[in-house]
Amino acid sequence: MPSMIDASCPKCGRRFGWCGELRDKPPCPRCGHRDDPAELAAAQAKMDRLKELAVSNPTADLCREQRVQSGLSLRQAAKILGVDPRRLSDVEHGREPLWDELAKAMAEAYGAVDSPSERPVSGTGGEG
């Protein structure tokens, strides 16, 4: 069963959802903006990994791997996820089963953090 995906338009900020895979992302209903297919494919690959987090029993290793890839420390991640760091550590070591809510929070928290080096530079170039 295909899942519902939510996204917001990078151009006008309009939020919209669709059914299916990330790469099936339709053009923005407001401004018609389409994402670069190559970018969508890359995001799809990432999402496929993250989706494993959202299923009922992802491996503890995966939880840790995704967190590390997001550049978050255990404490930072625990704060974002709203859990006790010790509890998160237990989950990552397989001492405690991952629960649904936490899995979803993880997918969001880890998916939302892009490493700056991988990010395609778009449009406005500022030195910061």
Q: Which residues bind Zn ion (CB under 5 A)?
A: 9, 11-12, 14, 28, 30-31, 33
Question: In the 8-state DSSP scheme, what is residue 24?
Answer: G
Q: How far is the CB of 8 from Zn ion (least distance, A)?
A: 8
Of 69, 68, 56, which Cα lies nearest the Cα of 98?
A: 56
Query: Cβ of residue 6: shortest distance to Zn ion, in angstroms?
Result: 14
Residue 75 near residue 34 (C-beta atoms within 8 A): no
The Cα–Cα gap between 57 and 98 comes to: 7
C-beta of 14 vs 104, nearer to Zn ion: 14
Nearer to Zn ion, 29 or 82 (CB): 29
- Minimum distance of Zn ion from residue 10's CB (angstroms): 8
Give the residue with the Cβ less far from Zn ion, 31 or 45. 31
Q: How many CB atoms lie within 10 A of CB 110?
A: 24
Tokens 């404490």, residue located: 75
**Cβ contact 35:10 at 8 Å:** yes
Q: Nearer to Zn ion by C-beta: 33 or 93?
A: 33
For the CB of residue 53, give the shortest distance to Zn ion in the complex, in Å: 28
